[in-house]
Amino acid sequence: GQQVMQIPQYQHVQEGEDFTTYCNSSTTLSNIQWYKQRPGGHPVFLIQLVKSGEVKKQKRLTFQFGEAKKNSSLHITATQTTDVGTYFCAPGAHNYGQNFVFGPGTRLSVLP
Amino acid sequence: DGGITQSPKYLFRKEGQNVTLSCEQNLNHDAMYWYRQDPGQGLRLIYYSQIVNDFQKGDIAEGYSVSREKKESFPLTVTSAQKNPTAFYLCASSRALPGQKNEQFFGPGTRLTVL
Protein backbone atom coordinates (compact mmCIF):
# COMPACT_ATOMS: atom_id res chain seq x y z
CA GLY A 1 0.00 0.00 0.00
CA GLN A 2 0.85 3.64 -0.07
CA GLN A 3 3.71 4.61 2.25
CA VAL A 4 4.23 8.14 3.48
CA MET A 5 6.85 9.52 5.84
CA GLN A 6 7.01 12.81 7.62
CA ILE A 7 10.12 14.35 9.11
CA PRO A 8 10.87 15.43 11.68
CA GLN A 9 8.60 13.59 14.11
CA TYR A 10 8.96 16.38 16.68
CA GLN A 11 10.26 19.94 16.50
CA HIS A 12 10.76 22.39 19.32
CA VAL A 13 11.39 25.99 18.30
CA GLN A 14 11.69 29.33 20.01
CA GLU A 15 8.92 31.75 19.11
CA GLY A 16 10.00 33.72 16.06
CA GLU A 17 12.08 30.90 14.57
CA ASP A 18 11.14 29.25 11.31
CA PHE A 19 9.86 25.68 11.02
CA THR A 20 9.68 23.19 8.16
CA THR A 21 8.13 19.73 7.92
CA TYR A 22 8.58 17.36 5.01
CA CYS A 23 6.27 14.70 3.62
CA ASN A 24 7.67 11.97 1.37
CA SER A 25 5.74 9.33 -0.56
CA SER A 26 6.97 6.13 -2.13
CA THR A 27 4.59 6.62 -5.08
CA THR A 28 3.60 9.46 -7.40
CA LEU A 29 0.68 11.41 -6.02
CA SER A 30 -2.33 12.99 -7.69
CA ASN A 31 -2.49 15.64 -4.98
CA ILE A 32 -1.53 16.25 -1.37
CA GLN A 33 -3.42 17.81 1.49
CA TRP A 34 -2.15 19.30 4.74
CA TYR A 35 -4.03 19.34 8.05
CA LYS A 36 -3.32 20.84 11.45
CA GLN A 37 -4.45 19.32 14.74
CA ARG A 38 -4.22 21.44 17.88
CA PRO A 39 -3.59 19.58 21.15
CA GLY A 40 -6.82 17.92 22.26
CA GLY A 41 -8.59 18.92 19.04
CA HIS A 42 -9.43 17.44 15.68
CA PRO A 43 -7.59 17.82 12.35
CA VAL A 44 -8.47 20.89 10.32
CA PHE A 45 -7.82 21.15 6.60
CA LEU A 46 -5.19 23.71 5.60
CA ILE A 47 -4.60 23.32 1.87
CA GLN A 48 -4.55 21.01 -1.16
CA LEU A 49 -1.76 21.01 -3.77
CA VAL A 50 -2.35 19.46 -7.16
CA LYS A 51 0.20 20.65 -9.72
CA SER A 52 3.82 19.59 -10.01
CA GLY A 53 6.08 22.22 -8.43
CA GLU A 54 3.11 24.13 -7.02
CA VAL A 55 3.76 26.68 -4.28
CA LYS A 56 0.96 28.20 -2.21
CA LYS A 57 1.10 30.68 0.63
CA GLN A 58 -1.25 31.35 3.51
CA LYS A 59 0.10 34.29 5.52
CA ARG A 60 3.20 32.86 7.26
CA LEU A 61 2.69 29.33 5.88
CA THR A 62 4.24 28.23 2.57
CA PHE A 63 3.32 24.90 1.01
CA GLN A 64 5.27 23.23 -1.81
CA PHE A 65 4.58 20.19 -3.98
CA GLY A 66 7.64 18.55 -5.49
CA GLU A 67 8.34 18.48 -9.20
CA ALA A 68 8.03 14.68 -9.23
CA LYS A 69 4.84 14.83 -7.13
CA LYS A 70 6.33 12.50 -4.54
CA ASN A 71 7.07 14.97 -1.77
CA SER A 72 5.79 18.13 -0.19
CA SER A 73 6.81 20.60 2.47
CA LEU A 74 5.20 23.05 4.85
CA HIS A 75 7.25 26.00 6.01
CA ILE A 76 6.20 28.41 8.75
CA THR A 77 7.99 31.74 8.97
CA ALA A 78 8.45 33.37 12.38
CA THR A 79 6.49 30.85 14.41
CA GLN A 80 3.96 31.96 17.00
CA THR A 81 2.49 30.08 19.95
CA THR A 82 -0.72 29.69 17.95
CA ASP A 83 1.19 27.45 15.53
CA VAL A 84 1.51 24.73 18.18
CA GLY A 85 0.04 21.43 17.08
CA THR A 86 0.61 18.43 14.87
CA TYR A 87 0.82 18.87 11.11
CA PHE A 88 -0.27 15.95 8.96
CA CYS A 89 0.08 15.43 5.24
CA ALA A 90 -2.52 13.32 3.44
CA PRO A 91 -1.44 12.13 -0.01
CA GLY A 92 -4.02 11.47 -2.68
CA ALA A 93 -3.52 8.20 -4.52
CA HIS A 94 -2.65 8.65 -8.18
CA ASN A 95 -5.34 6.38 -9.53
CA TYR A 96 -8.23 7.94 -7.68
CA GLY A 97 -7.22 10.96 -5.70
CA GLN A 98 -8.93 10.20 -2.43
CA ASN A 99 -6.98 11.27 0.63
CA PHE A 100 -7.42 8.90 3.51
CA VAL A 101 -3.89 7.78 4.22
CA PHE A 102 -2.41 10.26 6.64
CA GLY A 103 1.26 10.72 7.36
CA PRO A 104 2.41 10.13 10.96
CA GLY A 105 2.57 13.89 11.56
CA THR A 106 5.11 16.39 12.85
CA ARG A 107 4.43 17.74 16.32
CA LEU A 108 5.47 21.36 16.71
CA SER A 109 6.13 22.99 20.07
CA VAL A 110 6.75 26.73 20.22
CA LEU A 111 8.47 28.12 23.31
CA PRO A 112 7.50 31.70 24.15
CA ASP B 1 -24.83 25.58 11.04
CA GLY B 2 -23.31 23.03 8.68
CA GLY B 3 -20.95 20.54 10.17
CA ILE B 4 -20.19 17.11 11.49
CA THR B 5 -21.06 15.99 14.99
CA GLN B 6 -19.97 13.07 17.10
CA SER B 7 -21.41 11.83 20.33
CA PRO B 8 -20.64 11.26 23.05
CA LYS B 9 -17.44 13.22 23.63
CA TYR B 10 -16.23 10.80 26.32
CA LEU B 11 -17.28 7.19 26.64
CA PHE B 12 -16.39 4.55 29.17
CA ARG B 13 -17.16 0.91 28.76
CA LYS B 14 -16.40 -2.32 30.49
CA GLU B 15 -14.32 -4.94 28.81
CA GLY B 16 -16.44 -7.34 26.78
CA GLN B 17 -19.16 -4.82 25.89
CA ASN B 18 -19.98 -3.55 22.44
CA VAL B 19 -20.38 0.21 22.06
CA THR B 20 -21.64 2.38 19.20
CA LEU B 21 -20.22 5.79 18.39
CA SER B 22 -22.43 8.25 16.58
CA CYS B 23 -21.42 10.41 13.59
CA GLU B 24 -23.79 12.76 11.79
CA GLN B 25 -23.13 15.31 9.04
CA ASN B 26 -25.35 17.89 7.35
CA LEU B 27 -22.83 18.89 4.69
CA ASN B 28 -24.49 16.73 2.03
CA HIS B 29 -21.21 14.82 1.63
CA ASP B 30 -21.24 11.43 -0.01
CA ALA B 31 -18.07 10.10 1.63
CA MET B 32 -17.61 9.43 5.33
CA TYR B 33 -14.69 7.99 7.27
CA TRP B 34 -13.73 6.64 10.67
CA TYR B 35 -10.22 6.99 12.05
CA ARG B 36 -8.56 5.85 15.20
CA GLN B 37 -5.86 7.95 16.88
CA ASP B 38 -3.72 6.68 19.74
CA PRO B 39 -1.85 9.13 22.01
CA GLY B 40 0.92 10.90 20.15
CA GLN B 41 0.20 8.97 16.98
CA GLY B 42 -1.24 9.64 13.55
CA LEU B 43 -4.62 8.72 12.09
CA ARG B 44 -5.40 5.19 11.04
CA LEU B 45 -8.36 4.45 8.79
CA ILE B 46 -10.91 1.98 10.18
CA TYR B 47 -13.71 2.11 7.59
CA TYR B 48 -14.89 4.43 4.88
CA SER B 49 -18.04 4.81 2.83
CA GLN B 50 -18.35 6.61 -0.48
CA ILE B 51 -22.08 6.13 -0.90
CA VAL B 52 -25.14 5.03 1.06
CA ASN B 53 -25.36 1.29 1.69
CA ASP B 54 -21.74 0.73 0.75
CA PHE B 55 -18.59 0.79 2.87
CA GLN B 56 -15.05 -0.50 2.68
CA LYS B 57 -12.55 -1.72 5.25
CA GLY B 58 -9.59 0.44 6.05
CA ASP B 59 -6.26 -0.61 7.49
CA ILE B 60 -7.51 -1.61 10.95
CA ALA B 61 -11.10 -2.81 10.51
CA GLU B 62 -10.82 -5.92 12.68
CA GLY B 63 -13.05 -5.67 15.75
CA TYR B 64 -15.13 -2.82 14.30
CA SER B 65 -18.34 -2.64 12.27
CA VAL B 66 -20.20 0.17 10.51
CA SER B 67 -23.45 0.85 8.69
CA ARG B 68 -24.45 3.52 6.18
CA GLU B 69 -28.24 3.43 5.92
CA LYS B 70 -28.53 7.20 5.52
CA LYS B 71 -26.30 9.72 3.79
CA GLU B 72 -26.04 11.82 6.96
CA SER B 73 -25.11 9.05 9.37
CA PHE B 74 -22.18 6.63 9.70
CA PRO B 75 -22.18 4.96 13.14
CA LEU B 76 -19.22 2.89 14.27
CA THR B 77 -19.57 -0.11 16.59
CA VAL B 78 -16.56 -1.13 18.62
CA THR B 79 -17.09 -4.79 19.36
CA SER B 80 -15.73 -6.92 22.15
CA ALA B 81 -13.44 -8.52 19.56
CA GLN B 82 -11.38 -5.32 19.38
CA LYS B 83 -8.43 -6.15 21.63
CA ASN B 84 -7.28 -2.67 22.48
CA PRO B 85 -10.18 -0.28 21.96
CA THR B 86 -9.10 2.61 24.20
CA ALA B 87 -8.39 5.46 21.78
CA PHE B 88 -9.60 8.72 20.27
CA TYR B 89 -12.08 8.07 17.45
CA LEU B 90 -12.53 10.65 14.71
CA CYS B 91 -15.25 10.73 12.09
CA ALA B 92 -14.87 12.76 8.89
CA SER B 93 -16.77 13.47 5.70
CA SER B 94 -15.91 14.81 2.26
CA ARG B 95 -17.12 15.07 -1.31
CA ALA B 96 -16.42 11.83 -3.12
CA LEU B 97 -16.08 12.40 -6.82
CA PRO B 98 -12.64 12.30 -8.49
CA GLY B 99 -11.37 15.71 -9.48
CA GLN B 100 -13.32 17.49 -6.77
CA LYS B 101 -11.60 19.19 -3.90
CA ASN B 102 -12.19 16.46 -1.37
CA GLU B 103 -10.97 18.01 1.83
CA GLN B 104 -12.11 16.14 4.89
CA PHE B 105 -14.15 17.81 7.60
CA PHE B 106 -13.63 16.19 10.98
CA GLY B 107 -15.96 15.90 13.92
CA PRO B 108 -14.77 16.75 17.44
CA GLY B 109 -14.05 13.09 18.20
CA THR B 110 -15.03 10.58 20.87
CA ARG B 111 -12.55 9.46 23.52
CA LEU B 112 -13.29 5.85 24.36
CA THR B 113 -11.85 4.30 27.51
CA VAL B 114 -12.25 0.64 28.29
CA LEU B 115 -12.15 -0.12 32.00
Partners of A102 on chain B (C-beta within 8 Å) are 35, 42-43
Residues 6+ apart with CB under 8 A from A21: A6, A7, A8, A11, A73, A74, A87, A106, A108
With CB atoms and an 8 Å threshold, state whether B98 touches A105. Answer: no
In this structure, what DSSP letter does residue A84 have? -
With CB atoms and an 8 Å threshold, state whether B42 touches A103. Answer: yes
Partners of B102 on chain A (C-beta within 8 Å) are 92, 97-99
Give A33→chain B minimum CA distance, Å.
Answer: 8
With CB atoms and an 8 Å threshold, state whether B58 touches A100. Answer: yes
Which of A48, A98, A108 best probes binding to B when mutated, by most B CB atoms within 10 angstroms?
A98
pLDDT, mean of each 10-residue run, chain A (112 residues): 86 98 92 95 95 97 96 98 97 70 94 92
Whether pLDDT at B115 is above 90: no
**B73 to each of A81, A93, B28, B104, how far by Cα in Å?**
36, 26, 11, 15
Q: Tell me the backbone φ, ψ of residue B31, rounded to 5 degrees.
A: -95, 140
Positive/negative CA dihedral, A73, A74, A79, A82? negative
For residue A101, what pLDDT is reported?
Answer: 85
**Nearest CA to B25 among B70, B58, B67?**
B70
Tens digit of each residue's pLDDT (9 = 90 or more) over B8-47: 999 999 988 999 999 999 999 999 999 999 988 899 999 9
**B57 to each of A13, B1, B24, B33, B48, how far by Cα in Å?**
39, 30, 19, 10, 7
